[in-house]
Amino acid sequence: MKILVTGAQGQLGRDVVRVLGKNHNVLGLGRLELDITDLEQCQYRIEEFRPDAVIHCAAYTAVDKAETDEDQAYLINANGTRNIAVASERIGSKFCYISTDYVFDGNAASPYREYDNTNPMSIYGKSKRAGEILTQSLSSKYYIVRTSWVYGLYGNNFVKTMLELSKTRDQLHVVNDQVGSPTFTQDLAIFLGELVATDKYGIYHATNSGNCSWYDFAKAIFEEHGLTTVISPCTTEEFRRPAPRPQYSVLEQMSLRTNGFNELRHWREALIDFLQQQECLYEA
């Protein structure tokens, strides 16, 4: 199977290229190889490779910066997605758009299902929701995959930040009133490969199983890494950020089950695997 991956130098994109490249003919394009805001360039690169599926990982992900950089967020997450969707549709490629838990407002008391009404609160969330709408409007063979709290071996993320801070601080305060599901990019990449090999189009929620607060996640990181850094819980109000975060963004994975896919392993099991792989990566 021929698969084109946008955002190939990003945290998720690198793992998608690495994981799927073992069994498929994968072309990964980073921002230097493909400007997704240029429609003609998108059409040229996609027509040149003629992939069976396009996995669109490229995105504007600076959540806080987006609050004052609205045009750029929409240029990339909306217009860029439109361009890739149009170019994919033109040659009959399947189109897989990676979305986010931020399309929900976080006010729910139970996990969000795939077809629940969305209500994004931040510019980032609104721009990603715009990408979803354009995907549904312009592609006849689309998958929308929402995920959350992503971390991987490449790029910056919460796990790496916690481990780095532990080197210089004896005590840390971490938010305890935001709940979600941490997701290892390697596990997500494996699922994406399984998904685009099918014709089971639609909206999917794909995160590692289980859920926790950021405080619980930080505690698990230090426990599994054997660190003694003291972690204290704090509230979102005490740790104000420019962009609002969903307080509860657990994603129900009904579409995985009803379409015959296995749910991703538990987040703590995935975390242990990540920490072991990271250690091997540094030693190498």
Q: How long a stretch of residues is the chain? A: 284
Catalytic residue among 124, 142, 151, 215: 124
Which residues contact residue 136 at a Cβ distance below 8 angstroms, ignoring those fewer than 6 apart? 142, 144
Distances (CA, A) of 88 to 4, 52, 54, 252: 10, 9, 7, 29
Whether 148 and 181 have beta carbons less than 8 Å apart is answered as yes
124 is catalytic: yes
Active site residue ranges: 124
